[in-house]
Structure 1
Amino acid sequence: MVAREGMPILTDKNSETRSTAIAAAIILLAAMALLYLMPNVIVWLGNVSPWLGTGFGVIVILAFFLVFWLRARYQRRKNR
């Protein structure tokens, strides 16, 4: 890559850091949207069955941690 005055040269480390930050931001935004809507969905499902509402809440919370766990596994395998 040709360096221009005032423009830093993007190395693999900078590109990797940027990619990680973008991925984390996308994951967090999706999680925030889901968690924002979660109470309404739980109440709606709870009217059908309390077990459905509880199950949905548990699945959403576990999915949040599952995404980060899977990303960490992917990163560990990628860095070998």
Structure 2
Amino acid sequence: MTDPKTRNAAIAAACIMIGFGLAAYWMPTLMLALGERSTLAAGIFAVLFVAGFFLVFWLRARNQHEND
């Protein structure tokens, strides 16, 4: 079996992936709505979404490293 630390990390990663997956599902609708007002805003939103995905995992890894 797995130890609690590994299991908790897998659960956290799955929750993050599900959250970002749901956001990605509605991303085209959000991009079109933002694009009607400003294409720059839609582009910034897309960049922030992708950067946020990596930022969340980087912060989680950093927190895990500090706890060890």
Which TM-score band applies after superposition, normalised by the shorter structure? over 0.9
Within-5 A mapping of 1:1-80: 14-79=3-68
Percent of paired sites with the same residue: 40
CA RMSD of aligned residues (A): 1.3
The structure whose residues are more often helix, as a share, is 2
Looking at CA atoms only, which structure, 1 or 2, has the larger radius of gyration? 1
| Unmatched 5+ stretches in structure 2 | none
Greater than 4 Å deviation, 4+ residue runs: none
Structure 1: distance between partners of 2:28 and 2:51: 16
| Unmatched 5+ stretches in structure 1 | 1-7
* TM-score normalised according to structure 2 size: 0.94
CA positional deviation for 1:39: 1.1
The residue type paired with residue 15 of structure 1 is: P
The residue type paired with residue 24 of structure 2 is: L
* TM-score normalised according to structure 1 size: 0.80
